[in-house]
Structure 1
């Protein structure tokens, strides 16, 4: 990447592939990504894989960087992309040891530099604001509304979407199901979204702490009582907060394309793509938070004693827990009992990752006709 100095929140991602999609995911704004897979960049990068107009991460850490682009789809190497985007990275380090450190100590600020000594680099860390204090959504949301329609022109539905850092893969999944998606900035009002007469409302993924987004909560609350609503990742957390359910910071977050999620209604396990530092507090742990808030991951198995659907939360009898993380038992999905409103913590579109969960987009669209 580009020589220089960069500061950001150190996180790790366990995906074996999909580095281009990860780097261009706006949810990584403000973060320096440690890739646990030992060799990154072997198939280069392709514009078709980009999830937004540019790279939003603050830095990249890899064990070994491939300087080839061994794919007929590639238009440049990963290093060429990093140079083009002006992103600073580092290679040749033990990323798995670093990952173990982050797992044990939790996410923390880090600095990558090719020009400062250790003392100067440490001073950069001291000057940098805590990552929990920043509203990163304002850095990645669109400046003006725009629309995405099905490529074949067969638009049957209208969706109004909040752009908190929306990925192109999500827009594609909606367009493939006949939806024209009107995308609005994060600061848009509920009335603006309803002004396009939508069949449904979508709350997108995005970076940072949902507690920094009080400006959006009144509008999400207003939208709950309207047309069908579907939220993903940050959108899931904002929906929960609009229902007076708190969120909390995980010790080291969940990032990767191999996270198992249990759908309580069917009892089926799905492999999911995830990228989040915060979670919805729906367990009975300390201060109303799951054990994951204290230890990063709870290893208690989900067996016969797992919560059964429907699982009304005591904070609001209308809320049902629909999905749980099999690794740490954290919340992965909620729905309202008597309204067409639901959300999930993970990314059903994949990009990168498995496509096991695209059925959730079908479920969303089915609600447009009262399904």
Structure 2
């Protein structure tokens, strides 16, 4: 049954089956993850994108809210070879168009060869190829959303684990996954979750022991206020960052970032520590990377393409990771990154990457 269409920027219109109705548009990206579909769909870093799953069956262990990384689904649409009824019902309830019964291998190959591209989707009883093409044209006409942080950040300060015996972490929410907060709370830290556009006064009000820039969607250059905080507190507070956070910190300290051809999205990305030469498997979800590290030292690289996966400065007490050490459902090779962040707050201590040695 054909009642859905995906119009691609390269001129193709792909026929599919509607599993959740609707019309939408966005940047078409793919993930190679074979587990963690609930986590991927609720990851704020996928805001304004259309997520394609390369694994053929999505939904084979149901949908459970305790696995969510945020309160809602963030991709504008979802594509798979086949969605189970559980996932189709969930996305329908969320108002997120979903399509399946198409050749996702061919779709992923297109993205790998031509790069992430814009697309339009029409799904449901009244869907037509022309409707999908209309969505694509609207997507192509739209300028990049420079205030995307507002869509994924908390509106006001939230305190997690207020009675913790550990350090206080000022976590700047540029689209933070819930597992970042829980990983810090598990180490008895008090986490003060602050909006993406938090000011110096906001940070001062929580008197933190470390400033932490979270993951998030889009171009790191759009998060100017987070970069301003890095510039304000470098040398005064330890700094940490994950994914977008690494990019923001690098740019604030004289580095540069660039958009990747199709990004890293999956749960089996190999990363090598340059000091120990050990390779670990990581979960990743990013379309931008650090091209020049500025004042920071590259300590870890992606084995596939040599892009920076870890940046550090012993002198400035900074540690960042491009991948997601907190990844759920896994792998858990690098969870002790959070121990290293906590160690940054200890007097006269310098964090060492225990997860990676």
Q: Same fold (TM over 0.5)?
A: yes
How much does 1:56 deviate? 0.9
Corresponding residue number in structure 1 for 2:113? 104
Segment of structure 1 superposing worse, 320-329 or 131-140: 131-140
Cα contact 1:159–1:181 (8 A) shared by 2: yes
TM-score when scaled to structure 1? 0.85
Structure 1 counterpart SS, 2:111: helix
Corresponding residue number in structure 1 for 2:287? 277
Gaps of 5+ in 1: 68-76, 283-312
Cα contact 1:154–1:178 (8 A) shared by 2: yes
Structure 1 counterpart SS, 2:156: coil
Structure 1 counterpart SS, 2:287: strand
Determine which of 307, 328, 336 is the counterpart of 1:351. Answer: 328
Determine which of 51, 60, 75 is the counterpart of 1:42. Answer: 60
Instruction: String of CA shifts for 1:190-222, please: whole Å, max 9, x gaps.
Output: 331132111111110000011222233222211
Corresponding residue number in structure 1 for 2:260? 250
Matched, 1:126 2:144: no
Corresponding residue number in structure 2 for 1:367? 344
Task: Please show how residues 62-81 of structure 1 align to structure 2 within 5 Å.
Answer: 62-67=80-85, 77-81=86-90
Matched, 1:342 2:288: no
Distance (whole Å) between structure 2 residues aligned to residue 96 and residue 369 of structure 1: 49
Structure 2 counterpart SS, 1:215: helix
Matched, 1:12 2:21: no
Structure 1's 100 and 139: CA in aligned 2 closer, same or farther, altered over 3 A? Answer: same
Instruction: String of CA shifts for 1:119-173, please: whole Å, max 9, x gaps.
Output: 34223222225574543211111111101117xx543221111000011111110
Determine which of 22, 25, 43 is the counterpart of 1:25. Answer: 43
Task: Please show how residues 1-371 of structure 1 align to structure 2 within 5 Å.
Answer: 1-67=19-85, 77-114=86-123, 115-128=126-139, 129=141, 132-149=144-161, 154-282=164-292, 315-316=294-295, 319-370=296-347, 371=349
Instruction: String of CA shifts for 1:17-70, please: whole Å, max 9, x gaps.
Output: 100010001011011111011111011111110000111111110001223xxx
TM-score when scaled to structure 2? 0.88
Instruction: String of CA shifts for 1:296-328, please: whole Å, max 9, x gaps.
Output: xxxxxxxxxxxxxxxxx6x53xx2111100011
Distance (whole Å) between structure 2 residues aligned to residue 81 and residue 185 of structure 1: 28
Corresponding residue number in structure 1 for 2:354? none
Cα contact 1:273–1:352 (8 A) shared by 2: no
Gaps of 5+ in 2: 1-18, 350-357
Corresponding residue number in structure 2 for 1:309? none
Structure 2 counterpart SS, 1:173: helix
How much does 1:254 deviate? 0.3
Cα contact 2:164–2:190 (8 A) shared by 1: no
Aligned residues: 327
How much does 1:110 deviate? 1.1
Distance (whole Å) between structure 1 residues aligned to residue 188 and residue 66 of structure 2: 21
